[in-house]
Structure 1
């Protein structure tokens, strides 16, 4: 944890927010057809209907993560206790770690090359946010 603490809380926060916003823009581009959907979800999406469902789910999840990050930073007034917010931030860190592992096995090499380091960075930043006592 000492190594993670070397990462400043403001930098972790800004990195998460920027990454999530860019990720959401990316998923919107997939939804509207600017980016082909065969380069995401491990290359396993085989129909337009599945793509729409998965991309909407992704946008909702990213929005929820962003809300919890904003509550932790108190950009949005927290409507949950800090303990619950921290539990969710730890949960997101675990999900990003699992996603990092999953990206290593993606059938699309572009997904592996781009999203593996990205989700690893998000994992580290989420852990940094979770261990922060004050914002």
Structure 2
């Protein structure tokens, strides 16, 4: 066999070996890429689920906040006046306020309860106004 032909065959065999080695490396790189791509896709799916859950939670919290806001507005508009109305119409409070005014008037305070209150605001002791409440 001529030398050129043998060198050519050796060269072909060597090239086939290199091609096989490069093909194996390519397959390893491609497999690693596919694994990374699969991981990335699974992370994206997981993140999308988290985003959906958080969106649902935020929507629920917005609804809850709206309901609480509505309840607070109702209480301010209706509840507080209802409570005040009940207190004003409560007989015991009315009797106590009447007695309070009467006691102030009886003890020499011409302005009644207002005089005692003025003394309290001025941080002075009102010796003319003392109310003893029976229990």
TM tier, shorter chain?
A: under 0.3
Q: TM-score, normalised by structure 2?
A: 0.24
Q: Give the structure, 1 or 2, with the largest relative contact order (CA under 8 Å, sep 6 or more).
A: 1
Computing the radius of gyration over CA atoms, which structure comes out larger, 1 or 2? 2
Higher helix share: 2
